[in-house]
Structure 1
């Protein structure tokens, strides 16, 4: 049995960054569902939270998982579940793109704290601003230029 500890900070937004998840109660419901469903599929989500137009997950990958498949399972199933249960007025979609960065063991608590404090964080900064900071911080090519 391999011993693997690979943490990934996964961030994805709603389609066109629409504030579909516009109430705290709805977000709590969706985050709980994402974590529970992921667990049932063998995906370990250490932490999940977000705001009205995006989601952050701290994930630990196992030896048979890759980021693309995990992101697809989380996003696809949660989108289906939100729509099946009519949790939003308009049809819900996640955007195709996402961020995924590796997190070192020494940074886990800092990332958990960042994810936990999304409500407070987004009183000061929009997801668009956060998006641009991620692009710059992790040297991703900005596709919006």
Structure 2
């Protein structure tokens, strides 16, 4: 009997609206566990998740039947509802429109996992804006500045 065999690893990156520093260390672990549950309930494998006060990175092992845009939309919608319904921040929480998605080979996973797990240390030296532009250039993704995140400098 034939089957479908795949190896798809995607890093998803998205930011808090206007890159506001609303993700607090006091509840980020709960947020990350909640997002892990969403990914798993959709039949995908979350390899690692981490971020800073204004954005997150998620590395997902995906099945070819999964629609990435639907998965990200569900993650953003459900996590926004969690944060706002539990009043985890005194301000209205929203994720910014859009996201980055970058694919990796199996041989790169250890390096990518380490990179994501060290986000807080990494961002002591480099801003999210610098990091995001670096991803777009490294992966040779054509873009126009006006369609990127709303940057507040």
CA offsets 1:12-68 (integer angstroms, 9 cap, x no match): 0111111111x3222212111111232123232111110011010001111320211
Indicate the SS of the match to 1:94: coil
Q: Which residue of 1 aligns with 2:145?
A: 144
Q: Which residue of 2 aligns with 1:17?
A: 19
Question: Which residues of structure 2 form unaligned runs of 5+?
Answer: 147-153
Question: Which residues of structure 1 form unaligned runs of 5+?
Answer: none
> Is the radius of gyration larger for structure 1 or structure 2?
2
Q: Which residue of 1 aligns with 2:4?
A: 2
Aligned partners of 1:84 and 1:135: how far apart in 2?
34
Q: Which residue of 1 aligns with 2:65?
A: 64
Corresponding pairs, count: 144
Q: Which residue of 2 aligns with 1:88?
A: 89
Shift of 1:123: 1.1
TM-score (norm 1): 0.92
Runs of 4+ that moved beyond 4 A: none
Contact kept in structure 2, 1:43 and 1:70, CA below 8 Å? no
Higher strand share: 1
The two structures, once aligned, show a CA RMSD in angstroms of 1.4
Give matches, 1:49-128, under 5 Å.
49-128=50-129
